[in-house]
């Protein structure tokens, strides 16, 4: 009997896992050479995200230098009063307090874009909806039951999630006979903007694109430099290859 | 200059070494594409050692500091990102090169008499390299590092009686922890590099003793001119040094392209789950080793209870058949039956998990025996028959597909019709059969006559 | 093997050219490794200029702050101390601060400072890097002889400096104390480590 249950469960596995992966992430176009976008993203990140999250591997002056913001401006606009320009970007709120309030310590976000990918961040920031059953009053379709409250609701407004019921048909073997099982499951369908925010959906979308762009930059500040140097390295090696081939041909004239 | 060299030569055999191993070391003149990978492997070894030394200057082998120190290298150390990418991409490149180098040895018969020891030293290098890579992968202390080590060390628990104690001894703790990290660091930066360098040295000493094989599998030392120089040999220096410079440059272009344009190769060379620190409370959804281990990982996962029973039955039958049809004497027959008996007994007493470990272990151990499993009278694949050629194709395909399946969920369907685990079981059988059946198919295979001298296209 | 009819000159030229370009490549490849050993962003941030409030520094007192991990002495000199400085001239090795490396141009005077009263100098002996101690008391009471005019004394090897950080003759130390770049942001706020009001802080 146990074996039958097990095979039933195993039979369902592909379908269940498929349902989990069923959530499609929206694609976001990343452009690290767009400094204006990165600067806007940095402003959003510092003013909202950095209240609770660390970005502790990056330093303010490195960010200012890479993004073309003068130290003076970084200090005026982006720095907390107690910080120095060479400091690492740490949250305003101590991690212990945050843990008390949210139940989990907010993770460091420096490498978030490399861990989750830009599309995930972009979709996640579009997917908060009102959920009275949740502790913070918010829920998220990309990250269900996330502890983070929706800090940008003033911009986007309040979304409501619409779910629909779907029938899942699965074929399983039971006692050597093929049996068709039908189960019903509630799956997410789409969002409705119940209460508009201060931004139009288009403006909000651009803001999140800037934020995602900045977080991709933050995940690897040396990326543009890396690609630029890579071109020179390959050009040098190509020149050297020509010489090496000529040299080899010259010597191998001896070999018959 | 002459005087300085003479002064040194009186005290150190500089000119002698130079001549014996480069200027008057005669290598066959018909080396092809496949013969680049030996020198490339040496190059990558040097790359790993140099970049490793510079990483060690800033890395901290401490569970609380390791992840942060790696990010410190990536963000704060000047050019640290380049040095780290050179090391992480270099590790993957090392395996690509080593796999191709081993494939070269296999198809041209470089494992066969008189080069058995070169092959064995080489296989030892491969095993040491796997240990080196596995331990190095824990050091960044990312979540995948952590759970990968947790899973692989847990393999030891499959061993009856002493398993649990052994796993604890390896970890120095009840789970992978700071103690594990610290000892892996010691092995990764000191112990195994010393072993690797020593093995590479004896690998080369053995090679220079018997001389290089070549794509024709012809012994060039059999035909010499009046001065005792092989007719088909050319001095390694300058001819192969200038040729290897070309190979090295092409390789460096590939290497640089990955480092500068795709250092993570979409998560293949550096996994996404390693961008968050080790978390003992959260296992990544799919624990997947880096690509170079996936063929072996696949075999491990293929070992379900049904599979091991089925496989053991096949083996027992094979051994029994051997016992009846062999022309050997009574002792050989008795031994075969005894082995079959032991296998059958093990099949009923040991659990599948252990058989998985044994299976994975044998897949590597079998490589050591290649020189004696291969009974063909000729070395090179150029003069072998269709059976060997077919077997090699099936073997390579099985290895690649096992590697592919190792990155996928066993229960999913990524090839056709069947679940991944079923395919993996099939390919595992083919992989093992390549070795186990080799004495048989290499003996009956038709071979072509081998020419007296090497051929140049 | 047959090397008849080989153009030796061409062969030598190609070998030299490839070796030359290869060497350039190796130098380029070595550069990141050499540079990786320079102070990292963390070290540079820790070594950033420090702002020092001297409003509470009383006359005749010394304040020690750390900059780049080295002690910086800030002394508020009294009228009497300042009056003594010109008298030290014959005893000193470099009384007019002619050695350019030891101070910024604005400290090339007998006070070795921007404002005569306030001395800012590194507390690092120019002999072997010990921290000299302050011995401001004058005369035999100081234990440094009846003619001691007040200044700094290094216990390691007995080097002596006056109250401008100028080194005495016949001591192991070869040069005056190092004056770091600094600037007054306000009358009572000194930035040590930079002489520009803009930039890193």
Q: Where are the domains of chain A?
A: 24-220, 225-251
pLDDT band at A5 (very low <50, low <70, confident <90, very high): very low
pLDDT band at A4 (very low <50, low <70, confident <90, very high): very low
pLDDT at B171: 94
- Interface contact flag, B411 A10, Cβ < 8 Å: yes
Please count the residues of chain C.
201
**Count of other CB atoms within 10 angstroms of residue B221:** 16
Mean pLDDT of chain C: 90
- Determine contact, residues B81/B73, Cβ cutoff 8 Å: yes
B76 touches chain A (CB under 8 A): yes
- Interface contact flag, B57 C37, Cβ < 8 Å: yes
Quick check: is B414 in a domain?
yes
Residues of A with CB under 8 A from a CB of C: 59, 61-62, 71-72, 84-87, 236-237, 239-240, 243-244, 246-247, 250-251, 253-256
Q: Looking up tokens 């390896």, which residue turns up?
A: B170
Q: Is the pLDDT of residue A101 over 90?
A: no
The fraction of chain B above a pLDDT of 70, given in percent, is: 99
CA pair distance A178, A175, nearest whole angstrom: 8
Structure token digits, residue B153: 């060390």
pLDDT at B159: 84
> How far apart, in Å, do the first and last CA atoms of chain B sit?
42
Are B99 and B243 in a shared domain? yes
Q: Is the pLDDT of residue B28 over 90?
A: yes
Q: Is the pLDDT of residue A102 over 60?
A: yes
Are B225 and B177 in a shared domain? yes
Q: Is the pLDDT of residue B258 over 90?
A: yes
What is the average per-residue pLDDT within B382-392? Answer: 96
pLDDT at A18: 37
pLDDT band at B348 (very low <50, low <70, confident <90, very high): confident
Are B139 and B257 in a shared domain? yes
Structure token digits, residue B366: 């079998």
Quick check: is B39 in a domain?
yes
B417 touches chain A (CB under 8 A): no
Of C18, C36, C42, the CB nearest to B83: C36
Identify the residue with better confidence: B370 or B351: B370
For residue range B102-113, list pLDDT tens digits in order. 999 999 999 999
For residue B54, the chain C residues in CB contact (below 8 A) are 33, 36
B50 touches chain C (CB under 8 A): yes
pLDDT at A16: 37
- Interface contact flag, C11 A236, Cβ < 8 Å: no
Cis peptide before B238 (omega within 30 of 0): yes
pLDDT band at A85 (very low <50, low <70, confident <90, very high): confident
CA distances from A93 to A50, A53, A89, A211, C169 (A): 9, 8, 12, 20, 57
Q: Is the pLDDT of residue C102 over 80?
A: yes
Its ipTM equals 0.91
Are B312 and B357 in a shared domain? yes
Best-predicted range by mean pLDDT among A161-170, B414-423, C128-137?
A: C128-137
- Interface contact flag, B78 C18, Cβ < 8 Å: no
CA pair distance C175, C124, nearest whole angstrom: 11
A242 touches chain B (CB under 8 A): no
- Interface contact flag, B58 C40, Cβ < 8 Å: yes
Identify the residue with better confidence: C199 or B280: B280
Q: Which residues contact A217 (CB under 8 A, 6 or more apart)?
A: A32, A38, A41, A66, A67, A223
CA pair distance C192, B444, nearest whole angstrom: 86
For residue range B120-140, list pLDDT tens digits in order. 999 999 999 999 999 999 999
Lowest-confidence segment of A17-26, A149-158, B313-322, B413-422 by average pLDDT: A17-26
Best-predicted range by mean pLDDT among B152-166, B320-334, C27-41?
A: C27-41
pLDDT band at A22 (very low <50, low <70, confident <90, very high): low
pLDDT at C200: 44
Mean pLDDT of chain B: 92
Interface test with C, best of B58, B77, B236 (most C CBs within 10 A): B77
Are B328 and B242 in a shared domain? no
Q: Is the pLDDT of residue B170 over 80?
A: yes
Q: Give the torsion through C-alpha atoms of B65, B182, B42, B360, to 10 deg.
A: -120
Q: Which of B211, B243, B275 is the last residue before a domain boundary?
A: B275
For residue range B283-319, list pLDDT tens digits in order. 888 888 899 999 999 998 888 888 877 877 887 787 7
Q: Which of B250, B275, B300 is the last residue before a domain boundary?
A: B275
Of B68, B81, B260, the CB nearest to A227: B260
pLDDT at B332: 73
Quick check: is B4 in a domain?
no
Quick check: is B168 in a domain?
yes
Measured N-to-C along each axis, helices B386-406 and B80-107 cross at an angle, to the nearest 10 degrees, of: 150
Q: Looking up tokens 């990165």, which residue turns up?
A: A38
Of B75, B239, B273, the CB nearest to A252: B239
Q: Is the pLDDT of residue A168 over 90?
A: no
pLDDT at A81: 67
Are B113 and B142 in a shared domain? yes
pLDDT at C139: 84
Q: Is the pLDDT of residue A93 over 60?
A: yes
pLDDT band at A19 (very low <50, low <70, confident <90, very high): very low
- Which residues of chain B from 169 to 188 reach within 8 Å of chain A, CB to CB? none
Handedness of CA C14, C15, C21, C22 (dihedral sign): positive
Are B130 and B259 in a shared domain? yes
Are B267 and B343 in a shared domain? no
Q: Is the pLDDT of residue A12 over 60?
A: no
For residue B80, the chain C residues in CB contact (below 8 A) are 36, 40
Lowest-confidence segment of A124-128, A175-179, A191-195, B146-150 by average pLDDT: A175-179
Structure token digits, residue B272: 């996404």
- Determine contact, residues A155/A59, Cβ cutoff 8 Å: no
pLDDT band at A21 (very low <50, low <70, confident <90, very high): very low
Q: Is the pLDDT of residue C198 over 70?
A: no
DSSP A21-40: HTPPPPP----TT-HHHHHH
Radius of gyration of chain A (CA): 26
What is the average per-residue pLDDT within B375-394? Answer: 96
For residue range C162-173, list pLDDT tens digits in order. 999 999 998 999
pLDDT at A176: 64
**Which stretches of B12-115 are DSSP H helices?**
14-18, 37-56, 66-75, 80-107
Tell me which residue range forms the domain holding B426.
291-444
Are B83 and B209 in a shared domain? yes
> How far apart, in Å, do the first and last CA atoms of chain C sit?
70
pTM: 0.89
- Interface contact flag, B80 C36, Cβ < 8 Å: yes
DSSP C77-107: --HHHHHHGGGGGGGBSSTT---GGGS-GGG
For residue B254, the chain A residues in CB contact (below 8 A) are none
- Interface contact flag, A247 C14, Cβ < 8 Å: yes
Closest chain A CA to residue B255: A234
C158 touches chain A (CB under 8 A): no
What is the average per-residue pLDDT within A50-58? Answer: 92
- Interface contact flag, C2 A254, Cβ < 8 Å: yes
- Interface contact flag, A240 C21, Cβ < 8 Å: yes
Q: Is the pLDDT of residue A71 over 80?
A: yes
Are B310 and B391 in a shared domain? yes
Interface test with B, best of A57, A219, A249 (most B CBs within 10 A): A57
Mean pLDDT of chain A: 86
- Interface contact flag, B261 A57, Cβ < 8 Å: no
Lowest-confidence segment of A96-110, A221-235, B182-196, C118-132 by average pLDDT: A96-110
Q: Is the pLDDT of residue B114 over 60?
A: yes
- List subunits contacting chain B, requiring 3 or more Cβ pairs under 8 Å: A, C
Topology given in CATH for the domain delimited by A24-220? Cytochrome Bc1 Complex; Chain D, domain 2 (1.10.760)
For the range B200-207, what are the long-range contacts, defined as Cβ-Cβ under 8 Å and sequence gap of 24 or more?
B200/B42, B200/B45, B200/B125, B202/B121, B203/B118, B203/B121, B203/B122, B203/B125, B206/B115, B206/B117, B206/B118, B206/B121, B207/B115, B207/B118
What is the average per-residue pLDDT within A111-121? Answer: 95
Closest chain A CA to residue C3: A254
CATH number at residue B434: 1.20.810.10
Closest chain C CA to residue B51: C33
For residue range C116-160, list pLDDT tens digits in order. 999 999 999 999 999 999 999 888 888 888 889 889 999 899 899
B83 touches chain C (CB under 8 A): yes
pLDDT at A212: 97
How many domains would you assign to chain B?
Answer: 2
Identify the residue with better confidence: B436 or A180: B436
């Amino acid at each position: 009997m146990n074996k039958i249950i097990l095979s039933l469960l195993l039979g369902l596995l592909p379908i269940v896992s498929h349902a989990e992966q069923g959530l499609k992430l929206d694609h976001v176009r990343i452009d690290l050479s767009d400094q204006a976008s990165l600067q806007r993203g940095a402003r959003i990140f510092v003013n909202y995200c950095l209240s609770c999250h660390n970005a502790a591997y990056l330093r303010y002056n490195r960010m200012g230098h890479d993004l073309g913001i003068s130290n003076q401006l970084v200090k005026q606009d982006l720095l907390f009063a107690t910080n120095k320009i060479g400091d690492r970007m740490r949250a305003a709120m101590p991690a212990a307090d945050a843990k008390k309030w949210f139940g989990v310590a907010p993770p460091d976000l420096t490498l978030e874009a490399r861990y989750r990918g830009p599309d995930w961040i972009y979709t996640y920031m579009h997917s908060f909806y009102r959920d009275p059953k949740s502790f913070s009053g918010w829920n998220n379709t990309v990250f269900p039951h996330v502890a983070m409250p929706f800090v940008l609701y003033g911009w986007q407004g309040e979304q409501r999630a619409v779910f629909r019921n779907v029938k899942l048909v699965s074929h399983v073997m039971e006692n050597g006979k093929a049996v068709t099982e039908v189960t019903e499951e509630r799956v997410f369908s789409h969002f409705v903007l119940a209460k508009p925010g201060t931004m139009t959906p288009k403006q909000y979308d651009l803001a999140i694109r800037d934020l995602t762009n900045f977080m991709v930059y933050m995940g690897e500040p040396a990326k543009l430099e890396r690609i630029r140097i890579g071109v020179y390295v390959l050009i040098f090696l190509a020149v050297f290859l020509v010489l090496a081939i000529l040299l080899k041909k010259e010597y191998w004239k001896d070999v018959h | 200059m002459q005087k300085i060299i003479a002064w040194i030569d009186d005290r150190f055999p500089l000119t002698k070494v130079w001549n014996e191993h480069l200027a008057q070391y005669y290598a066959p003149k018909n080396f092809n594409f496949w013969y680049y990978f030996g020198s490339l492997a040496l190059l990558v070894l040097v790359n790993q050692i140099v970049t490793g030394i510079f990483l060690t200057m800033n890395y901290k082998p401490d569970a609380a500091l390791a992840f942060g120190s790696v990010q410190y290298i990536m963000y704060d150390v000047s050019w640290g990102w380049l040095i780290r990418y050179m090391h992480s991409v270099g590790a993957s490149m090392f395996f690509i090169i080593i796999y191709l180098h081993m494939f070269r040895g296999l198809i041209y018969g470089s494992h066969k008499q008189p080069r058995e020891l070169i092959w064995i030293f080489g296989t030892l290098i491969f095993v040491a390299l796997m240990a080196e890579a596995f331990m190095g992968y824990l050091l960044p202390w990312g979540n995948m590092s952590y759970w990968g080590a947790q899973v692989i060390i847990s393999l030891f628990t499959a061993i009856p009686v002493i398993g649990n104690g052994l796993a604890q001894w390896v970890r120095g703790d009840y789970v992978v922890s700071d103690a594990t990290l610290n000892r892996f660091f010691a092995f990764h930066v000191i112990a195994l590099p010393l072993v690797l360098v020593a093995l590479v040295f004896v690998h080369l000493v053995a090679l220079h003793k018997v001389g290089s094989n070549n794509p024709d599998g012809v012994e060039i030392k059999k035909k010499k001119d009046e001065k005792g120089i092989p007719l088909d040999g050319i001095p390694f220096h300058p001819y192969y040094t200038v040729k290897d410079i070309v190979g090295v440059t092409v390789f460096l272009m590939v290497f640089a392209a990955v480092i500068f344009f795709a250092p993570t190769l979409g998560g293949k060379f550096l996994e996404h789950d390693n961008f968050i620190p080790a978390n003992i409370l959260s296992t990544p959804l799919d624990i997947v080793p880096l690509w170079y281990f996936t063929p072996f990982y696949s075999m491990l996962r293929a070992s379900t209870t049904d599979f091991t029973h089925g496989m053991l039955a096949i083996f027992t039958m094979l051994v029994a058949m051997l016992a009846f049809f062999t022309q050997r004497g009574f002792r050989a027959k008795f031994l075969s039956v005894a082995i079959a008996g032991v296998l059958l007994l093990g099949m009923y007493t040991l659990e599948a998990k252990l058989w998985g470990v044994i299976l994975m272990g044998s897949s590597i151990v079998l490589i050591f025996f290649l020189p004696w499993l291969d009974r063909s009278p000729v070395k090179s694949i150029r003069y072998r028959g269709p059976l060997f050629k077919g077997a090699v194709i099936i073997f390579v395909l099985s290895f690649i597909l096992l590697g592919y399946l190792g990155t996928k969920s066993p229960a999913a369907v990524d090839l056709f019709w069947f679940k991944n685990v079923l395919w993996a079981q099939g390919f595992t059988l083919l992989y093992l059969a390549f070795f186990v059946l080799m004495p048989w198919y290499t003996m009956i295979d038709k071979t072509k006559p081998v020419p007296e001298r090497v051929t140049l296209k | 093997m047959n090397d008849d009819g080989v153009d030796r000159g061409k062969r030598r030229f190609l070998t030299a050219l490839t070796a030359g370009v290869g060497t350039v490549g190796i130098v380029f490849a070595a550069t990141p490794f050499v540079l990786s050993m320079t102070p990292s962003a963390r070290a540079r941030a820790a070594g950033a200029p420090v702002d020092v409030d001297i409003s509470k520094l009383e006359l005749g007192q010394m304040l020690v702050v750390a900059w780049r991990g080295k002690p910086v002495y800030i002394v508020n000199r009294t009228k009497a101390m300042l009056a003594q400085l010109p008298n030290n001239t014959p005893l000193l090795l470099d009384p007019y601060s002619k050695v350019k490396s030891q101070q910024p141009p604005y400290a090339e005077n007998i006070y070795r400072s921007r404002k005569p009263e306030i001395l800012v100098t590194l507390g690092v002996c120019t002999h072997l890097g010990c921290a000299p101690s302050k011995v401001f008391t004058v005369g035999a009471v100081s234990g440094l002889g009846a003619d001691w005019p007040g200044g700094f004394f290094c216990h390691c090897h007995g080097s002596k400096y006056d109250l401008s950080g100028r080194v005495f003759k016949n001591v192991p130390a070869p040069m005056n104390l190092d004056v770091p770049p600094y600037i007054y942001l306000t009358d009572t706020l000194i930035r040590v480590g930079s002489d520009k009001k803009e930039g890193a802080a």
